[in-house]
A and B are shown apart, each in its own frame.
Chain A
Amino acid sequence: MERHHNSVTKTPLDRVQRRSKSKSYRQSLRSCLGATCLTPALTTRRLNISRRAPKSHNITKVNPEQLALMVKTEWQLSYVTPLYQFRHTQLKSYSRQLSAFIAAEKQQGLAVEVEGSHGSFRVSFSVVQGMSEAADDAETVLIQIHLKRLFSRQDEPAKVVWSGLLTCINGSPDYLRSLPKDFTCLPLLCSSGAEGLTSAVKSWFQQTFDCYFGQLEISHTSLQWMIALWTNCQTESAIQFLKMIWTLPVVPPLKVTYTVNGQDAWELWSSVRKDPQKEGNGEDEDENSIDIEEVMRFMQGLKSHFYRHFRLDLSAGKLDQVSTALGSAKCSGMIKISNSKYMISTLTLLTECALLKMPI
């Protein structure tokens, strides 16, 4: 699991996390649960060192309204542990329960910074069909909270003030199959809206399905994967630019925004790809897969060009944000997917991050 090729891969955050997960969590879990079915899954969970290049999926099966919502919003990410006795057939009942819960919270003085919060909240749960292709993935659930203001007209539609997406796209099949029967795994929560409503929704889920939410930061390695995966799409959909924002820990902190022309980034990327002819008889699988080494070489190329001019090593800083015309990702766990064609691939990467970050 350790890749000691460059100093670049040795980001402390990653390392510490991974180690604790593999040793102490496993041990404590074994003693707590005594469930042997979970341990095989843990040992096989690793961040992929090789991925399939994102094919543009023409998502025709998804309801265009729902898709439009997913594309124009910037989502905050959290991971969710498996939900106990969550039924996709009972969504209407869940909507009612959550509406009642939020109304009760409001009575108790929940601070919701929504303009005109004098009104009634109505929650709707719906299934987003057509997202996941894998058989083991549970169907994606879209949650929306509408606010109907007190003195609004009858025909005025209620405004959506909060949206959430519970999803699992191409989750590790070994892990999913190893879960006990009553558990549904939807490890990724994408939320957008007031913080008060987010915590209310999370509390209700925790009470009802005995699960746990945690903040999902996008690690340095995952951000680098995003850079590579997005740049790889240049031939199909122009990325226009590749913008990276680094923060250097000096006093006062220095923010470096490094924006590369899209076409130039693509040429650099294709120059670091391994020659497919050398891999053997061009299997479709090999051509489409991207190795972590190629990603590292790409990043090294970008950094060395920067170093040649400024003699400033970007590895000393922290990569905060990555964006292209296809979307943007921030290390604090915010993601925006601007092009629906790459929704599936990006969510696959994020599902993997969520599964890895989960404590069980």
Chain B
Amino acid sequence: MGDSTKSLLQRIIRRIPSRAIESTLRKWGRLTAEQLQSIDFTQPKWTVTQELLDMCEEGNWTLKFITELEMSYIIDNPNQGMWYAYQLMNPEDDANSVELTQFKEQFKSHLKQLVRHISLKMKKHTDEAVWIRIAWGDRFFQPNHMKPTYAVHYLQTPYVFVTSLTSKHKPLFSQAMTLSTRYQAIKDANLSGRNLTAIRDLLMRQFQQAFPTKHPSPLAERNQTVSHPRIEKEQDGNAANRLELACEAFGGGTLPQLQSAVYKLETKFRDQTNKAMTEREESFKCIVKFASTNLLESLRHCASSGFASTPVTPLLSSISLKGKNYFVITDNSPGAASQPRRAQDK
């Protein structure tokens, strides 16, 4: 037991960048003031790791302590790894009144019924988010702490964000989640990214949105670059127009940091100049992937600078409006410009 604890501690420390080790340990709160003082954090990481391992040996730290450390680090630095968003569907009558203790108990008991050996940790964070750490085992093996699944559920919303969940464990997780939150089903929200805060903001619409207005005066105030009253820039009107439409499609201000969007197109090829292809029965299959360090910024810039024609096509604006970044487009999918703000399915 001691060996696996030490190797887990080693792995966790290796994952934390050197500059963050001291603050993480401080926040963890399991080390006494003297112990913290005794470690010289300017030493190379390997030496600091050794000192911590010695303390672990002396203090007989349990697996519980170490996993606490890992969880506290992940909660403070959630923007690593690949996060996937899920949405709960078809709430029961009492879904909206599920509160923290009830959710925790129910989730624990359901999951323990499904899996013999499991190590579960749940923690409520400040902003209504419940963080869950699951180390999976099975009938024959103890929980594997090296590859835990992390999940975040926002109470009273149908959203769950998960990372490192294998396809083997996915049905078990889904079942426990739906039962404990009093919903009937859970489905893939088709949104993924490296940045948890970004996909959360996008899905829960916590970013600055621009709504179509009749009088575009707010934007005019923003673009105050009048140098001389007699100088009139010809393209100003068009530019302001494009910017407004771009903001409507993607959002204003700072946008959540998405990395990519994938469109699987299965539509027919239609072109006036090419009769042979237009008459073809089968669809023209292709996959288009947009990638950037901040995808929504790039797309907004495309629209405001004229690379993309405005008004922005619903395919692109759906990223912000629907909070998705994986789409399958067929000839029957709704491509109409007017969409309800939160479509219930797809």
Contact = CB atoms under 8 A, between A and B. Distances in A.
B297 A252 contact: yes
A255 B291 contact: yes
A267 B291 CA distance: 28
Interface residues of A, number: 30
Interface of B: 263, 265, 267, 269-271, 274, 276-277, 280, 282, 284-295, 297-299, 301-302, 305, 307-309, 312-313, 315-316, 329
A309 B265 contact: yes
A305 B271 contact: yes
Main secondary structure of the interface of B (DSSP, over half): mixed
Nearest to B266: A261
13 contacts: A248-B302, A248-B307, A252-B294, A257-B289, A259-B289, A264-B286, A268-B269, A272-B274, A305-B269, A309-B288, A310-B288, A310-B308, A310-B316
Nearest to A259: B287
A312 interface: yes
B270 A308 contact: yes
Given A251-B297, A252-B297, A311-B308, A306 B288 contact: yes
Contacts, number: 99
Interface string A303-321: 0111011111100110000
B320 to A, nearest CB: 15
Given A251-B297, A271-B276, A257 B291 contact: yes
Given A264-B285, A309-B315, A254 B290 contact: yes
Contact of B284 (A251, A253, A264): A264
Contact of A253 (B271, B287, B292): B292
B288 A257 contact: yes
Contact of A255 (B267, B292, B305, B312): B292
A258 interface: yes
Contact of A313 (B276, B294, B307): B307
A250 interface: yes
Nearest to B298: A254
Interface in A216-274: 248, 250-261, 264, 267-268, 271-272
B80 to A, nearest CB: 20
Contacts of A260: 284-286
A301 interface: yes
Contacts of A305: 269, 271, 284, 286
Contacts of B277: 267-268, 271, 301
B275 to A, nearest CB: 8
Contacts of B263: 309
A253 B298 contact: yes
A256 B302 CA distance: 12
Nearest to B299: A254
Contacts of B312: 311
A312 B313 CA distance: 9
